[in-house]
């Protein structure tokens, strides 16, 4: 069960990282976020990504220390 949860978490983590917009460093880089909805969506995606990273590492440590095998 833990390995399945770990696999699902890793797939969603990969997808969340791929969805992120690259930070633009050119002239007028802040103009890509004209609407506050874009900024709040990006902040929500950041929180989800960090939650998935934390869950991934916790599940990895848990299965490594207890020797979980499915």
Task: Say which residue, 54 or 32, is predicted with more confidence.
Answer: 54
Could you read off the pLDDT of 10-35 as tens digits, one per residue?
999 999 999 887 664 444 455 555 55
Domain locations in the chain? 1-17+37-70
- Predicted TM-score of the model (pTM): 0.71
CA 54 to CA 36: how far, in whole Å? 27
| Residue 31 DSSP symbol | G
């Amino acid at each position: 069960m833990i390995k399945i949860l770990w696999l699902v978490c890793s797939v969603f983590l990969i997808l969340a990282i791929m969805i992120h917009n690259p930070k633009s460093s050119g002239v007028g880089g802040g103009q890509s976020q004209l609407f506050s909805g874009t900024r709040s969506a990006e902040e929500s995606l950041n929180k989800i990504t960090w939650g998935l990273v934390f869950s991934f590492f916790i599940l990895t440590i848990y299965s490594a220390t207890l020797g979980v095998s499915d």
